[in-house]
Amino acid sequence: MIPFSVLDLAPILEGADAAQAFRNSLDLAQHAERWGYRRYWLAEHHNMTGIASAATAIVIGHIANGTSTIRVGSGGVMLPNHSPLVIAEQFGTLASLYPGRIDLGLGRAPGTDMRTARALRRDLVSNANNFPQDVRELQALFAPVQPNQPVQAVPGAGLQVPLWILGSSLFGAQLAAAFGLPFAFASHFAPEALMQALEVYRADFQRSEQLSEPYAIAGVGLFAADTDREAQRVFTSAQQQFTNLHRGLPGPVQPPIEDMDTYWSPHEKAGVERMLQYAIVGSPETVREKLVSFIQQTGVNELMLTGQIYDHHARLRAYEIAADLRDSLNDSPSA
Q: In DSSP terms, which residues pair with 253 in a beta bridge? A: 13
In CATH, which superfamily holds the domain spanning 4-331?
Answer: Luciferase-like domain (3.20.20.30)
Residue type, 14: E
How confident is the model at residue 335, as a pLDDT? Answer: 46
Indicate if the pLDDT at residue 118 is higher than 80.
no
Indicate if the pLDDT at residue 298 is higher than 70.
yes
CA distance 181 to 162: 9
Residue type, 175: L
How confident is the model at residue 258, as a pLDDT? Answer: 95
How confident is the model at residue 164, as a pLDDT? Answer: 98
Indicate if the pLDDT at residue 333 is higher than 70.
no
User: Quick one: which of 226, 251, 220 has its CA closest to 237?
Assistant: 251
Q: Residue 155: is the preceding peptide bond cis (ω within 30°)? A: yes
Domain ranges of the chain: 4-331
Q: What global pTM score does this model have?
A: 0.94
CA distance 258 to 268: 17
Distances in Å between the Cα of 310 and the Cα atoms of 92, 200, 271 are 34, 36, 22
The stretch 10-15 carries a mean pLDDT of: 96
The stretch 211-222 carries a mean pLDDT of: 98
Indicate if the pLDDT at residue 124 is higher than 80.
no
Considering the chain, what is the average pLDDT of its residues?
94
Q: In DSSP terms, which residues pair with 305 in a beta bridge? A: 6, 220
Residue 30 near residue 66 (C-beta atoms within 8 A) = yes
User: Quick one: which of 3, 56, 55 has its CA closest to 216?
Assistant: 3
Distances in Å between the Cα of 11 and the Cα atoms of 20, 207, 225 are 9, 37, 19
